[in-house]
Amino acid sequence: MRDAVLHAIDMCVKALEQRADAHWVIAFSGGKDSSAVLKIFLSAYRRARVRPRAATLIYCDTGVENPILDAYVKTLLMRMRAEFESAELPIGVRILKAPVQDRFFVRLIGRGYPPPTNSFRWCTTGLRIRPVSQFIRGHRPEDTVLALGLRRSESRQRDRSLQRSADLYWQKQREGVGEYDLFLPIVEMDVPEVWDAVFGLSEPRCLKPQALEDLYRDASGECPVIKAPEAPPCASGRFGCWTCTVVRKDRSGAELIRSGHHELIPYFKFRQWLTEIRNDPSRRWPRRRSGQEGMGPLTIEARREVLERIEELEFATSSEILDADERGLIASLWRIDDIPRLSFPLNGPRA
C-alpha cells in the first residue's frame, strides 16, 4: 500500500485517540473521495486504542440525485448498516433530507426560482449543506468532529484557507450552528492515492471498488456538505443532482447513458429543457420579488409547464419525483403568488 494511505491512517488513528470524547461524523456522498475517507476511518477505528464516544455516517439525500447513483448509494448504505451490525461496530448510518420548503422543485415550481446557475446557485445550501448543519446542531457542535473528503488543490480558494491553517488535517468550520472541528484524512492525497485507498483497504466489504470505479469515467469531484460557496458545482463531478443546470453539460449523465444506462435519457432531456427555458423573458416576471427591474421568478404558467413536464417524466420513468408533501406546498405557494398577480397583471407582484 502506498505511503500516503498509511500516513492518512496514522493521522486518523492519532486524531481518534486525541478526540475520543467527540461524536465523529463521516460525511458520505458515495463518491471516491468520501469512500476513501470512510475506508481510512474504518482502518483507523480498528487500530485506535480508544474508540470515540459515538460515530455516525451521514448521507444527504437531495431527492434529485442521479437515479443510478442514488440507487447505488442507498443499496450500499443498507448493506453497510447490516455489515456494521454483524461486525459489532457501533457506527450509525443516517440519511438526511432537506426540509420540504428547501427541496429543488418546491423552490423552482412553488416559488418560481429559475433553474440554478453559478451566479445564482440557490440549491447547494438548502439541499446539501443545511441538512448537515442541522444534524450537527442537534449533536452539540463543540463535541463534534466532521470527517470530510476535502483535498488540497481541489479549489484555489479552499487551498488558500487550508494553507493558513497550521495543521492541514484539522480545520474549524464556522457557521450558523457555531463552531465545530473538521478532520480531513485525505487532505494531502492526490487522485491516484485516493483510488489506492479505495482499492487497498478492505472495510467496509460491501463497498466494491470495481463497482465504484465503473461509475466513474471522466468526471471527478463531489458535492460539498459544508459551507464552501467557492467550491465547484457539485454536478461537475460524478455524484450530483440530475437537475443540475449549474454545469453547462451534464457530463456524468451523458457518460452513464453512453455506457448503457438509457433509462437516464428522459431525465437528461428534461435537464436540457430546463437550461433552455431559464433565460426566456416570456417565462419570467419582469421584476424581481424585491421590486427591482430585471428578470424575476418564473411565471405561474412556466411553473405549470415545468410541473406538467415532471408528470410526463414520472410517467415515462415509472418513478415518483414529487411526493405528496412537495405537491401540497407547491399548491399553497402558487396560491400566495397568484393573489398579487390579480392586481399587477403586467408587471408581476411587488416585493
Q: Exactly one of 7, 79, 94, 121 binds ligand SF4 (CB under 6 A); which one?
A: 121
**Angle, CA 268 vertex, CA 262 and CA 272 arms, to 5°:** 150
Q: Exactly one of 25, 123, 177, 186 binds ligand SF4 (CB under 6 A); which one?
A: 123
- Positive or negative, the CA dihedral 46, 49, 54, 57 is negative
Q: Are 234 and 128 in contact (CB under 8 A)?
A: yes
Binding of ligand SF4 at residue 127 (CB under 6 A)?
A: yes
| Segment interacting with ligand SF4 (CB under 6 A) among 50-58, 234-242, 252-260, 301-309 | 234-242
Q: Which is nearer to ligand SF4, 42 or 129 (CB)?
A: 129
Q: Is 151 helix (H, G, I), strand (E, B) or coil?
A: coil
Radius of gyration of the chain measured on its C-alpha atoms: 21
What's the min distance (Å) between Cβ of 172 and ligand SF4?
24
For 290-342, give the DSSP string: TS-BS--SBPHHHHHHHHHHHHHHHHHHT--SS-HHHHHHHHHHHHHHHHHHH
What's the min distance (Å) between Cβ of 115 and ligand SF4?
8
Q: Exactly one of 240, 253, 296, 348 binds ligand SF4 (CB under 6 A); which one?
A: 240
Q: Exactly one of 23, 107, 128, 158 binds ligand SF4 (CB under 6 A); which one?
A: 128
Which is nearest to 243 in space by CA: 330, 346, 51, 113? 113
Which is nearest to 274 in space by CA: 320, 321, 229? 321
Q: How many residues bind ligand SF4 (CB under 6 A)?
A: 15
Ramachandran angles phi, psi of 146, nearest 5°: -100, 115
Residue spans of alpha helices (H) in 180-258: 191-200, 209-215, 251-258
Binding of ligand SF4 at residue 215 (CB under 6 A)?
A: no
Q: Exactly one of 35, 43, 124, 144 binds ligand SF4 (CB under 6 A); which one?
A: 124
Residue 97: in which H helix or E strand, if any? strand 91-97
What's the min distance (Å) between Cβ of 152 and ligand SF4?
22
Is there a cis peptide before residue 204, judged by omega within 30 degrees of 0? yes
Q: Exactly one of 246, 256, 306, 307 binds ligand SF4 (CB under 6 A); which one?
A: 246
Binding of ligand SF4 at residue 11 (CB under 6 A)?
A: no
Name the CA dihedral angle for 109, 110, 114, 115, rounded to a multiple of 10 degrees: -50
What's the min distance (Å) between Cβ of 104 and ligand SF4?
7
What's the min distance (Å) between Cβ of 16 and ligand SF4?
31
291-303 residues labelled b (16+ CB within 10 A) or e (exposed): eeeebbbbbeebb
Binding of ligand SF4 at residue 243 (CB under 6 A)?
A: yes
Q: Exactly one of 146, 244, 277, 329 binds ligand SF4 (CB under 6 A); which one?
A: 244
- Cell representation of residue 28: 458520505
Measure Cα distances from 12 to 158, 296, 332 in Å. 21, 48, 48
Q: Is 146 helix (H, G, I), strand (E, B) or coil?
A: strand
Q: Exactly one of 31, 114, 233, 296 binds ligand SF4 (CB under 6 A); which one?
A: 233
Binding of ligand SF4 at residue 235 (CB under 6 A)?
A: yes
What's the min distance (Å) between Cβ of 156 and ligand SF4?
19
Q: Exactly one of 73, 215, 234, 333 binds ligand SF4 (CB under 6 A); which one?
A: 234
What's the min distance (Å) between Cβ of 249 and ligand SF4?
13
Q: Exactly one of 223, 231, 256, 302 binds ligand SF4 (CB under 6 A); which one?
A: 223
| Segment interacting with ligand SF4 (CB under 6 A) among 19-27, 170-178, 229-237, 257-265 | 229-237
Binding site for ligand SF4 (CB under 6 A): 116, 121, 123-124, 127-128, 223, 233-235, 240-241, 243-244, 246
